[in-house]
Amino acid sequence: MAKSKTMTVLGRVAEAIPTLIGVVIVAFLLTRALPGDPAAYFAGPAATLESIQEVRVSLGLDKSLPEQFIIYVADLATGNLGNSISTGQPVTADVMSRLPASLELTLFALVLSLGVALPLGILAATKPGTWIDQLCRIIVTAGVSLPVFFTGLLLVYVFYYQLGVAPSPLGRLDFVYLSPPHVTGFYVVDALIAGDGATAWAAFRQLLLPAITLGLFTLAPIARMTRAAMLQVLSSDFIRTARAAGLSWRKVLFTYAFRNALLPIITTLGMVFSFMLGANVLVEKVFAWPGIGSYAVEALVVSDYAAVQGFVLTMAVLFVTINLLIDLAYTAIDPRVGFDG
């Protein structure tokens, strides 16, 4: 049995490979789908005819499509995503420097979200018809309808403009503070590591509103799924058996019900991440958060296609990795996976 589990894990990892291949192909096609002359786009709006031709040759755009693909893949293998025409830097470097900001925001939002959504969903399912059930339903219904950028602006208006408790939505750190020495790239964590409490607190305050915005966005689907999954599990036969056997409500709820409900919840997390990585872009724009989302938005404005496509590819690879981890978590909980029954 254990052997088959290892095989399943390896199988899952192996399955991610064709997905990655598909992603690379699509990303490649996107770069070549530009109407008109791709070389002109990559050379930039201020390019002369000669520099366009240079770019064409250096990117291999004068060769056949399959050859171009091979060049593209070879470039990717060496981490070459081209150069950004607005910063002049290699896209890879830009992306790497901006990624930690996005990750900090996303992870913090996820923690907030799970911390509220899971208990809310569980309580709503175990006490149907009470105020907490109604509250859950209202939050879910409102939550899935709210545009995330709208929520962000609302929060800014209420907490910054009206109440004055939130700091100005202008990035990760107020300009009076210096960014802490780089360890993880997460300002709050790095500041704490460096022992700088004031900077840590300032960074945290800046992080709060955007994280809450993003967290509210993901709260609704997670709470809904938790409630639905718990309700389904609680009405199933084996819970009836457990109750009839006299098991305590705590045992029934956590060891029996919640663990089984986790399976559909984990599956939903994949979808939630898909939305979350997209919403990230919008939140970063609203709060001027210097992550890769706002990098991409800035790149779009100036038609910096290499940067945009670098962004798309990075997000896709990130997402595939996240999905793989989710898949593995599912396999860890469910012993039925991998059984050739």
Partner 1 sequence: MNALVEVKDLSVDFSTRNGVVHAVRDVSFSLMKGQTLGIVGESGSGKSVTSYTLMRILDQAGYISGGSVSFGGMDIGNASEKNMVLLRGREISMVFQNPRSALNPIRKVGQQIEDVLCQHLQATRHDAKQKAIDVLRQVRINNPGERYHAYPFELSGGMCQRIVIALALACRPQLMIADEPTTGLDVTTQKAVMDLMAELTRERNMATILITHDLGLAAAYCDHLIVMKDGEVVEAADAKSLFQNPQHPYTKKLIRATPRSSGTIRELLPEDTKVPALAVSTPNAGKSEAILTVENLVKEYPLKSTSSTKHPKAEARPVFRAVDDISFIVGRGECVGLVGESGCGKSTTSSMIMRLLNPTSGSLIFDGSEIANMPAKTFAKSPLRTKLQMVFQDPTDSLNPRFTASRSIADPLMRMGQLKSRRQMRDRVQELAELVGFPAHLLDRFPHQLSGGQKARVGIARAISVNPELLVLDEPTAALDVSVQAVVLNLLVDLKARLGMSYLFVSHDLSVVRLLCDRVIVMRGGKIVEQGECDQVLENPADPYTRELLNAIPHPAFD
Partner 2 sequence: MNKPSQTTDMIKPVSGEDGISLADLNAAVTRQSGAAAPTRANMLRHLAYILKSNPMTLIAFILFALMLVAALLGPLITPYDPLKSSVADALQAPSLAHWFGTDDLGRDVFSRVLMATRLDLAIAFSAVAISFVFGSIIGSLSGYYGGWLDKVTGRIIDTIMAFPLFVLAMGIVAALGNSVENIVYATAIVNLPFYARMARAEVNVRRDAGFVQAARLSGNGDIRILATQIFPNALPPMMVQISLNLGWAILNAAGLSFIGLGVSPPTPEWGIMVAEGARYIVSGEWWLALFPGAVLMLAVFTFNMLGDGLRDLVDPRQRS
Cα(296)–Cα(301) distance, rounded to whole angstroms? Answer: 9
Residue 80 carries which side chain, given as an amino acid letter? N
The mark string for 242-281 relative to partner 2 (x by CB under 8 A, - otherwise) is -------------------------------xxxxxxx-x
Residues 6+ apart with CB under 8 A from 63: 71
Among partner 2, partner 1, none, what binds residue 334 when CB lies within 5 to 8 Å by partner kind?
partner 1
Long-range Cβ contacts of 12-20 (<8 Å, 24+ apart): 12/324, 12/327, 12/328, 12/331, 13/324, 16/320, 16/321, 16/323, 16/324, 19/320, 20/317, 20/320
Among partner 2, partner 1, none, what binds residue 89 when CB lies within 5 to 8 Å by partner kind?
none
Stretch that binds partner 2, among 144-152, 180-188, 206-214, 251-259 (CB under 8 A): 144-152
Q: Which is nearer to partner 1, 238 or 275 (CB)?
A: 238
Cα(187)–Cα(171) distance, rounded to whole angstroms? Answer: 12
Q: How many CA atoms lie within 13 A of 202 on its CB side?
A: 17
Q: Which is nearer to partner 2, 22 or 181 (CB)?
A: 22
Q: Which is nearer to partner 2, 260 or 309 (CB)?
A: 309
Query: Should residue 238 be labelled a site residue for partner 2 when binding is judged by CB under 8 A?
Result: no
Among partner 2, partner 1, none, what binds residue 335 when CB lies within 5 to 8 Å by partner kind?
partner 1
User: For binding to partner 1 (CB under 8 A), which residues are involved?
Assistant: 1, 236-238, 240-248, 251, 255-256, 259-260, 263, 333-336, 339-341
From the list 309, 318, 317, 316, the residue with the least C-alpha distance to 32 is 309
Q: Determine the straight-line distance between the first and last CA of the chain, rounded to whole angstroms.
A: 13
- Can you give the binding site for partner 2, defined by CB under 8 A? 18-20, 22-23, 25-27, 30-31, 33-35, 141-142, 144-150, 153-154, 156-157, 160-161, 168-169, 235, 273-279, 281-282, 285-286, 296-297, 300-301, 305, 308-309, 311-312, 315-316, 319-320, 323
